[in-house]
């Protein structure tokens, strides 16, 4: 019986674990704080970003400051600290912004989000509506 319980716990934890392991760790933060990322100094993360305040609020709301990939309400995976939904949004806007890489890379996600906001795409994030950032 005890062995069966241990196997059940193992299987549940294995199947409930995140679908992708993040390439960078991000701490949970308050809306006013920037994400705390161990692998990048804060200045590098936010250097040249025009919409810092808005992006910080989006990160806090969309992922609670965690760099994760998880299923969204539409059944597609959302990726990274800014929860880019599916792959088409990331593919289109990262190309247009001239950013290569993955939405699981915080600096790159922030660069693409900054580009999107500068080009009238803030409304693509559900949290922009919830937080009345528009």
Q: Sketch the domain layout of the chain as residue ranges.
A: 19-130
**Model pLDDT, residue 12:** 39
Q: Does domain 19-130 have CATH number 3.30.1760?
A: no
Rounded to whole angstroms, the Cα distance separating 35 from 49 reads: 14
**Model pLDDT, residue 16:** 39
**Model pLDDT, residue 41:** 54
* Cβ atoms within 10 Å of 37's Cβ, excluding its own: 19
Strand partners, 78: 70, 85
The pTM of the full predicted model, rounded to 2 decimals, is: 0.69
Q: What is the pLDDT along the chain (134 residues), one digit of tens a residue?
A: 444 443 344 333 433 334 333 444 443 344 444 444 444 455 688 999 999 999 999 999 999 999 999 998 888 999 999 999 878 899 999 999 999 999 999 999 999 999 999 999 999 999 999 999 99
Rounded to whole angstroms, the Cα distance separating 35 from 13 reads: 27
**Model pLDDT, residue 25:** 43
With 0-12 / 13-18 / 19 or more C-beta atoms within 10 angstroms meaning exposed / middle / buried, residue 4 is: exposed
């Amino acid at each position: 019986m005890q062995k069966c319980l241990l196997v059940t716990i193992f299987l549940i934890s294995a199947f409930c674990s995140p679908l992708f392991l993040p390439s960078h760790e991000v701490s949970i933060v308050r809306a006013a704080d920037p994400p705390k990322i161990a692998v990048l100094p804060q200045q590098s993360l936010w250097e040249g970003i025009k919409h810092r305040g808005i992006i910080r609020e989006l990160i806090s709301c969309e992922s609670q400051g965690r760099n994760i990939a998880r299923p969204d309400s539409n059944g597609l995976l959302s990726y990274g600290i800014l929860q880019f939904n599916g792959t088409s949004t990331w593919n289109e806007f990262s190309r247009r912004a001239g950013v290569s890489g993955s939405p699981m890379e915080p600096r790159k996600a922030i660069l693409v989000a900054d580009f999107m906001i500068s080009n009238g795409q803030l409304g693509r994030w559900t949290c922009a509506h919830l937080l009345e950032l528009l």
